[in-house]
Structure 1
Amino acid sequence: MGKNDSISPKYQQVKDYVLTQIENNALGKDGRIPSESEFSQLLDVSSITVRKALNELVNEGVIYRVRGKGSFVSNRGTAADAATRYVTFIISGNELYDSSYLQITKGVQSFLSQQGCKLIIEFVENNFEQERELIMKLIQSETRGLLIYSVNPNAAKTYLHEIRKKSIPFVMLDRIPSGFPVDCITCNNNDGAYEAVAHLIAHGHRNIGFAAYDFYLSAEAERYNGYQRAMQDASLVPNDETLFFRRELDYDKLIAAIKNGELTALFCVNDRRALEIIERLTQEGIRIPEEISIMGFDDFESSKFAKVPLSTVRQNFEALGYEGARLLFELGGDAVRCHKKILLSTSLVIRESIKEL
């Protein structure tokens, strides 16, 4: 027998056995599937093989898991029926038509369309209470899983516990709660910020400030750590007077630092902050980049069209959505496992807001 004529993989044999039992009505709707150990003895296969087969059946919607009780036949019964199930993407943000949200959604949809799974988008305008109420409502209904872009991931821990009790797979996008392990996709914030600040240093800047936006977010804290690390590696000590952590930025203080020569470059935690600063400083007569260089993070679509085209760190929002959806399908409802944190690479984009000293 040639290699191409070999029998199907053992995990496929397990899948075929379960599907045959369902089709023959040996396992009715909500019928309990044998455990891993029972399958191992019945079909003479390893527990790892059984686990792979059952995970695929969960992903396909044929069976579902209940924490502490086992695996059961889905109410929909077959993979074809289960393919109509939904993934819900919850976005808590500033504007639904923000280009970054649209790119993330495009990535999510790109993956789900390959799985025959439909996407529901729920948008909440930067309001955590509405976000929490929406999540609590969603977990009472049938859903393939949740993708969550939270306005306040630390506060989200309250409802994340409830999602886990329901054994609903979920993945956090971009923003992660501290001290609470979750499956998540984010860009490499730390290294991206390091590369941006190192570029400023390499081009002669020594007095480099930092401007946050929502500093309670994990992504912003990671970018600040990258900023600090780049400064330390260059034996530079940040001036506390040029570190801006509040949403309401002190422009009088910022402008004074620029005019006094205490600040020649400013690393902004995101493009939203950077574009706001460019707009305000130009109104105040500050020339960019002649008097101060500005660096952002994200590479919004509008950044290249700003009054002064913005130098920034680009993250791939479409890949964020695609990989987030793919991770959601990999989870399979397995309760006993380690959580995954996947970091996506970034790249530096240099435009006209940076001047070499």
Structure 2
Amino acid sequence: MITMETRKIRVKDVTETLRDEIVLKAMAPDTAIMSTREISESFGVSPITANRAVMKLVEEGLLYRVKGSGTFVRGSVPCGLKGCVALLIADHVREDSVLNYYLRNIYSYFKKEQVTFRIVFFSELWDTANAERKLKEFDGIVMPIHIWEEKTIPALRSFGKPIVAFQTDQIREDIPVHQVMFSLRMGYAEALARMDGIESKKFHLFSEAHANGLARTSLFEQMLLEAGAQKENIGKTVLNGGEDVALECYRMTFRLAEKLRGKFVFSSSDFHIAVPLINAMDDRGLKAGTDYELMSCDNMEGHGCKPFARPRITAIDCDKGASADAAAGLLMSLIGKPSSAQHIVRIPTKLVMRETAFCRK
């Protein structure tokens, strides 16, 4: 027998799941959501329960209904009255993208702190006049640092309120916003302390061509040289594949496999480089941790991602949850408190050892 209490719990569960899905998938304003019948079938609840969940989100202001047309996303997430902030993201965010890990944590932070926020797509800032009108309602902005680009700079420069950028591994002195960055030097130092015979060891460094990838690799190379590695023993590959960087990495590694035998391989990215690299080396009969060593950045395996049956990649842990919380918290601390000082928050990193390096028996 379904009691009134059970029905309330079901409505709450469906409401929260729908709310999270709308926000975390960054559904644009005026996007149609599932019909009540589709929600009922998808969640295995009655149409009455599905309708009550939708009406709850309509009452909150997240959705609106048009008679005869359906239910649509309004665009704001009304969580309270502690400020109204914008989360700027690229127009298309894949569900499996790294940015989604930040997005989920930022959303959870603002939801917990009862802060109203809305996702704004960076293309909405290309028209400066329209962007200025759109941004007027916000008390602050939090965004990945790559959103600061030629088309968005005019609108962001004229915003006049706090902007916090995350997803960076280096201080961008050319970008006049507050920044949350990973302190990779800490994790790298742990790794170097575990290396034997660094003076004669051979290395190969793989990086993506974007600023973060190059910065990660450049710092690691610098620290290798400071620790006694020989410059002639350090090979480098920069991948320029864009959306197909993983495929480019696989093909490149497949060709280089024998040359990587016996080397310590560094990867600036878990998913785009380390995973396809391991797959290519496996296909050539070379095993990580035995025939070569591999260390990557990110530690996505430690944060819920499972590219393999078990965690395999030795990695520098860049805690994206901590970075997201720090970015959201920094923004909230700055709202309503004008300051000309630039705030930089450094998130510590650490070495996480698995089978691909430092774990030989």
Q: What SS does the aligned partner of 1:353 have?
A: coil
Contact 2:205 2:237 in 1 (8 A): yes
Q: Which residue of 1 aligns with 2:223?
A: 230
What amino acid sits opposite 1:332 in the alignment? I
Q: Which residue of 2 aligns with 1:267?
A: 266
**What is the CA deviation profile of residues 265-323 of structure 1, one whole-angstrom value per residue up to 9, with x for unaligned ones?**
11101112111211222223322222211111111133573687111111211111111
Shift in Å, 1:325: 1.0
Contact 2:294 2:313 in 1 (8 A): yes
Q: Does 1:148 align with 2:143?
A: yes
**What is the CA deviation profile of residues 94-144 of structure 1, one whole-angstrom value per residue up to 9, with x for unaligned ones?**
8532374343233323432354212333567xxxxx475399755422223
Query: Per the alignment, do residues 100 and 82 of structure 1 end up closer, same or farther by CA in structure 2, a change over 3 Å counting?
Result: same
Contact 2:267 2:297 in 1 (8 A): yes
Query: Per the alignment, do residues 303 and 134 of structure 1 end up closer, same or farther by CA in structure 2, a change over 3 Å counting?
Result: farther
**What is the CA deviation profile of residues 235-279 of structure 1, one whole-angstrom value per residue up to 9, with x for unaligned ones?**
112347721123345777756765357751111011121112112
What amino acid sits opposite 2:117 in the alignment? L
TM-score by length of 1: 0.63
Q: Which runs of 5+ in 2 are unaligned?
A: 1-77, 242-247
Partners of 2:276 and 2:354 in 1: CA distance? 17
Partners of 1:256 and 1:166 in 2: CA distance? 49
Q: Does 1:195 align with 2:190?
A: yes
What amino acid sits opposite 1:280 in the alignment? A
Partners of 1:310 and 1:356 in 2: CA distance? 13
Decide which of 211, 215, 227 is 2:206's aligned counterpart. 211
Query: Per the alignment, do residues 228 and 303 of structure 1 end up closer, same or farther by CA in structure 2, a change over 3 Å counting?
Result: farther
What is the RMSD computed on CA atoms of the aligned residues?
A: 3.7
Q: Which runs of 5+ in 1 are unaligned?
A: 1-79, 125-129
Query: Per the alignment, do residues 84 and 338 of structure 1 end up closer, same or farther by CA in structure 2, a change over 3 Å counting?
Result: closer
What amino acid sits opposite 1:143 in the alignment? F
Query: Per the alignment, do residues 157 and 192 of structure 1 end up closer, same or farther by CA in structure 2, a change over 3 Å counting?
Result: farther
Greater mean alpha carbon deviation, residues 219-228 or residues 315-324: 219-228
Q: Which residue of 2 aligns with 1:7?
A: none
Partners of 1:181 and 1:340 in 2: CA distance? 10
What amino acid sits opposite 1:116 in the alignment? Q
TM-score by length of 2: 0.62
Q: Which residue of 2 aligns with 1:25?
A: none
Query: Per the alignment, do residues 158 and 133 of structure 1 end up closer, same or farther by CA in structure 2, a change over 3 Å counting?
Result: closer
Query: Per the alignment, do residues 238 and 111 of structure 1 end up closer, same or farther by CA in structure 2, a change over 3 Å counting?
Result: same
Decide which of 333, 342, 356 is 1:330's aligned counterpart. 333
Q: Which residue of 1 aligns with 2:278?
A: 278
Which of the pair has the greater relative contact order for Cα pairs under 8 Å at 6+ separation? 1
Partners of 1:290 and 1:81 in 2: CA distance? 52
What amino acid sits opposite 1:196 in the alignment? A
**What is the CA deviation profile of residues 156-189 of structure 1, one whole-angstrom value per residue up to 9, with x for unaligned ones?**
1552343232313211112364523320112113
Decide which of 295, 318, 321 is 1:318's aligned counterpart. 321
**What is the CA deviation profile of residues 69-100 of structure 1, one whole-angstrom value per residue up to 9, with x for unaligned ones?**
xxxxxxxxxxx998175322223398532374
